[in-house]
Structure 1
Amino acid sequence: MEGQLATLFTGIVVVFLIAVLLLIVLYRVKIPSVVAFLIAGFLAGPSGLGLITNEESISFFAELGVIFLLFTIGLEFSVSRIFKSRRYVLIGGVVQVLSTIVIFTALMQITGMDLAHAFFWGMLVSLSSTAIVMKVLADRMEVDSPHGRATLGILIFQDLIVIPMVMITPVLAGTTDTDVSLARLLIGSFVIIAVVYVAAKYVVPALLLHAARLKNREMFLFIVMGTCLIVAYLTSEFGLSMALGAFLAGIIISESEYSTHAMSSILPFRDLFTSFFFISIGMIFNLQFFIENPLIIAELVLLVIGVKYATGTLASLLAGLAPRACVMTGISLAQVGEFSFVLATTGTSLGFFAQDSFQLFLDVSIVTMGVAPLLIGLSGKIAAPLSSPLCRIMPDRSHVEETEEQGPEDHIIIVGYGLNGKNVARSADIAGVPYRIIEMNPDTVRDEKAKGKPIMFGDAAQGEVLKKAGIAKARVLVIVVNDPFGTQQIVQTARMLNPAIHIIVRTRYMGEVATLMDLGADEVIPEEFETAVEIFTRILYTYLIPTSEIDRLVSEIRAGGYQMLRSINTPSYSFDDLRVLVPDVEMRTIRIAEDSQYAGKMLKETMIRSTYQVSIVAIRRGQQMTVSPGGDEMLCGGDLVMVLGSPEDIIRAFSA
Structure 2
Amino acid sequence: MAQLDFLRDLVVLFGASIVVVYGFNRLQLPAVVGFLVAGALLGPYGLDVVADVARVEVFAEVGVVLLLFTIGVEFSLGQLRSLRTVAGTGLLQIGSAIVLSALTAIVSGLPLNQGVFWGFLAAMSSTAVVLKMVTDRGESNSPHGRLIIGILIVQDLAVVPMMVVTPVLGGLGEVGLLAVLWSIAKAALAVLLILVAARYLVPRLLVEVVRSRSRELFVITIILVCLGIAWLSSLAGLSLALGAFIAGLIVSESEYSHQAMAEILPFRDSFNSLFFISIGMLLDLRILLAHPVLVTGLVVALVGGKMVTTAGAAAITGYSWRAAVLTGIAVAQVGEFSFILAKVGKSVGLLPGESFQVFLTVSVLTLLLTPFLLQASPRLAKRAEALQRLRRWLPERQPDSHGIPSRHLRDHTIVAGYGVNGRNLVQVLRESEIPFVVVDVDGETVRQEQKKGIPIVFGDITHPQVLRRLGIQDARAFVLAISDPIATRQAVTVARQLSPAIHIIARTRYLREIEDLRTTGADQ
Pick aligned residue for 1:135 from 111, 132, 136:
132
- What CA deviation, in whole Å up to 9, does each residue of 1:618-650 have, x standing for no partner? xxxxxxxxxxxxxxxxxxxxxxxxxxxxxxxxx
Answer yes or no: is 1:98 the counterpart of 2:95. yes
The answer as to 2:432 corresponding to 1:435 is: no
Write the distance in 2 (CA, Å) between the matches of 1:514 and 1:118: 51
Structure with higher helix content:
2
> CA, structure 1 residues 350+255, in 2 after alignment: closer, same or farther (shift >3 Å)?
farther
Taking a change above 3 Å as real, the CA distance of residues 430 and 263 of structure 1, as seen in their structure-2 partners, is: same
Counterpart of 1:412 in structure 2 is: 413
Indicate yes or no: 2:68 matched with 1:70. yes
Q: Deviation at 1:87?
A: 1.3
1:231-275: per-residue Cα shift (whole Å, max 9, x none)? 443444455433333334444544555444433333322222111
Deviation at 1:78, TM superposition (A): 4.2
Q: Within 1, Cα distance between the matches of 2:173 and 2:393?
A: 54
The 1:110/1:33 distance shift into structure 2, 3 A limit, reads same
Distance across 1 between alignment mates of 2:195 and 2:320: 36
Deviation at 1:10, TM superposition (A): 1.5
Structure 1 range deviating more: 27-36 or 244-253:
244-253
Whether 1:270 aligns to 2:268 is yes
- Residue 120 of structure 2 is aligned to residue 123 of structure 1: yes
In 2, distance between residues paired with 1:430 and 1:197? Answer: 40
C-alpha separation between the residues in 2 aligned to 1:395 and 1:113? 34
Match in the other structure for 2:146: 149
User: Corresponding residue for 1:81?
Assistant: 79
Whether the 8 Å contact between 1:399 and 1:465 is mirrored in structure 2 is: no
Task: Answer whether contact 2:315 2:391 (CA < 8 A) is retained.
Answer: no
Q: CA-to-partner distance for each residue in 1:320-344, whole Å, 9 max, x for gaps?
A: 3221122111111111111111222
Per the TM alignment, residue 85 of structure 1 is displaced from its structure 2 partner at its CA by 1.6
Q: Distance in 1 between matches of 2:523 and 2:452?
A: 30
8 Å Cα contact 1:445-1:455 kept in structure 2? yes
Q: What is the CA–CA distance in structure 1 between the aligned matches of 2:507 and 2:239, rounded to whole Å?
A: 42
Query: Is the contact between residue 198 and residue 250 of structure 2 (CA under 8 Å) also seen in structure 1?
Result: yes
Per-residue deviation at 1:146? Answer: 1.2
Q: Could you tell me how far 1:216 is from its partner in structure 2?
A: 3.7
- One-letter amino acid of the counterpart of residue 83, structure 2: S
1:494 aligns with 495
Is the contact between residue 168 and residue 174 of structure 2 (CA under 8 Å) also seen in structure 1? Answer: no
Moved more, 442-451 or 42-51: 442-451
Distance in 1 (alpha carbons) for counterparts of 2:399 and 2:339:
41
Q: In the alignment, is the contact (CA less than 8 A) between 1:323 and 1:391 conserved in 2?
A: no
Provide, for residues 439-461 of structure 1, a one-character-per-residue CA deviation record: whole Å limited to 9, x for no partner.
11223323332332211111011
Distance apart, 1:284 and its partner CA: 1.2
Match of 1:205 among 187, 203, 206: 203
The answer to whether the 8 A contact 2:399-2:447 is kept is no
Contact 2:141/2:484, CA 8 A, preserved across alignment: no
Structure 1 residues 267 and 491: alpha-carbon distance in aligned structure 2, compared to 1, 3 A threshold: closer
Cα deviation, 1:79-107, whole Å, max 9, x if unaligned, reads: 4321112112x122122111122112212
Identical columns (%): 40
Q: Distance in 2 between matches of 1:376 and 1:413?
A: 29
Change (3 A) 1:195 1:144: closer
Distance 1:338 1:183, change over 3 A: same
- What does residue range 412-561 of structure 1 map to in structure 2 within 5 Å? 412-509=413-510, 512=513, 516=517, 519=520, 521=521, 523-525=522-524
Deviation of 1:153 (Å) = 1.1
SS of the residue 1:143 aligns to: coil
1:58/1:280 contact within 8 Å kept: yes
Compare 465-474 and 241-250 and name the one that shifted more.
241-250
Cα distance, 1:114 vs structure 2: 1.5
1:477 and 1:181 mapped to 2: Cα distance?
Answer: 55
Matched to 1:14, the amino acid is V
In structure 1, C-alpha distance between the alignment counterparts of 2:388 and 2:192, rounded to whole Å: 45
TM-superposition CA deviations, 1:302-333 (whole Å, max 9, x none) = 11111111122123223432211221111111
Pairs aligned (count): 520
Change (3 A) 1:456 1:423: same
1:350 corresponds in structure 2 to: 348
AA aligned to 1:137 is V
**CA–CA distance in structure 1, aligned partners of residues 124 and 354 of structure 2:** 21
| Equivalent residue letter for 2:467 | L
Cα separation, 2, equivalents of 1:425 and 1:28: 44
Matched, 1:171 2:184: no
How much does 1:358 deviate? Answer: 0.6
Q: 1:470 to 1:116 in 2, by over 3 A?
A: same
1:183 and 1:106 mapped to 2: Cα distance? Answer: 25
Which position in structure 2 is the counterpart of 1:400?
400
Task: Output the CA distance in 1 between the equivalents of 2:381 and 2:307.
Answer: 12
How far apart are the structure 2 equivalents of 1:302 and 1:160? 27
Tell me which residue corresponds to 1:294. 292
Query: Which structure's relative contact order is higher, taking Cα pairs within 8 Å and 6+ residues apart?
Result: 2
Alignment RMSD, CA only? 2.9
Q: Distance in 2 between matches of 1:395 and 1:468?
A: 23
After superposition, the Cα gap between the structure-2 partners of 1:328 and 1:300, relative to the gap in structure 1 and judged at 3 Å, is same
Q: In the alignment, what sits opposite 2:364?
A: 366
Q: 2:36 aligns with which of 6, 30, 38?
A: 38
CA 1:425 to 1:182, structure 2 compared with 1: closer, same or farther past 3 Å? closer
Which of 294, 305, 309 does residue 307 from structure 1 map onto?
Answer: 305
Q: Are residues 188 and 467 of structure 1, via their aligned partners in 2, closer, same or farther at CA, if it must alter by over 3 Å?
A: closer
Q: Deviations over 1:451-501 (max 9, x none)?
A: 322111110111221122122332332333333432333233334434444
Shift of 1:34: 1.0
CA radius of gyration, larger in: 1
**TM-score normalized by the length of structure 2:** 0.90
Structure 1's unaligned 5+ residue stretches are 526-656
Preserved CA contact (<8 Å) 1:413 1:436 = yes
Task: Tell me: CA distance 1:94–1:10, structure 2 relative to 1, closer, same or farther (3 Å).
Answer: same
Secondary structure of 1:85's counterpart equals helix
Secondary structure of 1:402's match? helix
Is the 1:184–1:238 Cα contact (8 Å) retained in structure 2? no
The one-letter amino acid of 2:444's match is: D
Tell me how far 1:205 sits from its aligned partner: 3.3
Assess, with a 3 A threshold, how the Cα gap between structure 1 residues 106 and 431 changes in structure 2: closer, same or farther: same
Q: Using a 3 Å threshold, how does the CA distance of structure 1 residues 146 and 353 change in structure 2: closer, same or farther?
A: same
| Structure 1 SS opposite 2:438 | strand
Aligned mates of 1:198, 1:488 — CA distance in 2: 41
Mean alpha-carbon deviation: is it higher for 316-325 or for 39-48? 316-325
Secondary structure of 2:141 counterpart: coil
Structure 2: 5+ residue stretches without partners: none
TM-score, scaled relative to structure 1: 0.73
> What SS class does the counterpart of residue 410 from structure 2 fall into?
coil
CA distance in 1, matches of 2:71, 2:51: 32
